Homo-oligomer: A and B are copies of this chain.
Amino acid sequence: MSEVNKGYFTEENSADVVISRIADSTEPRLAEVISVITKHLHAAVKEIEPTQDEWLTAIKFLTETGHKSDDWRQEYILLSDIFGVSMLVDAINNRKPSGASESTVLGPFHVPDVPELPMGANICLDGKGHPMLIKGRILNTAGEPVANAKIDVWQTNDDGFYDVQQKGIQPDFNLRGVFRTGADGTYHFWGAKPRFYPIPDDGPVGKLLGSLGRHPFRPAHLHYILEADGYETLVTHIFDPDDEYIHSDAVFGVKESLLAKFDLIEDPERIAAEHPGGPFYQVIHDFVLAPDA
């Protein structure tokens, strides 16, 4: 038992007294985490000097955030998202070597075991929106092509919803696909131009966003998980830099290196050769995988 533990709690020594109660037998990582949380929590309370009413408002907010969460809705993850904590944890766990593509948050709409498609396939099964050709290369940090890389991609449809948010409305696996690179490391497939969309904002977190004058939208993007033997798995997005919310993603997922270019192709020769149906969008983006640690 430390000296401070024999003393009583005061406004001055508060965090030290709480931390000193952690038993020596406590699992060391838990003891470390709880000590750091206690230190910063007390520092925040001392800086805020909440009234009793403000403290109770916080208690109620945290309780309602729990009550809003169930098997289908995770309001605490949303809270972590809008405070930038999810992105910070992602950044801490995905420090990439120079030259490698950067990560961003996984998000809640990934689906495992999506069927593998032949290169060039169209993942847009509902026919909505602007057709879009997505192509590029999977490279390593030496600039060499990565063969047999698995590309798992998913995106919203033109209404701003993922298939799993509109079961029975969108076709199954709409705007999802798995592709595998050949020896040259290139990929290409067709989708639809993605749309910005709101995170769920009908709960306490949405109310907080509103009180802060913040909107709930994420700028248009495509999600990726890229896997290849000998390389770190990359969870990331590419974003439309012309989206009106590109500088104010509600969950802070945008990074400069993840901005792609969504070009409208109106050249009649290319239309005739690649998409006889008419003009289309094109995104060319290379991904660079970091070697396994």
Contact = CB atoms under 8 A, between A and B. Distances in A.
A101 to B, nearest CB: 15
Contacts of A252: 9, 14, 17-18
Contacts of A84: 9, 14-15, 17-18, 38, 42
A25 interface: yes
Given A63-B74, A212-B26, A213-B25, A18 B83 contact: yes
A9 B63 contact: no
A31 B211 CA distance: 9
Identical chains bound together, number = 2
B41 A59 contact: no
Contact of A92 (B11, B67, B85, B255): B11
Given A25-B213, A40-B40, A65-B62, A9 B48 contact: no
A98 interface: no
A43 interface: yes
Interface in A34-63: 34, 36-52, 54-55, 59, 62-63
Interface of A: 5-6, 8-11, 14-15, 17-18, 21-27, 30-34, 36-52, 54-55, 59, 62-67, 69, 74-77, 80, 83-93, 95, 211-214, 247-248, 252-256
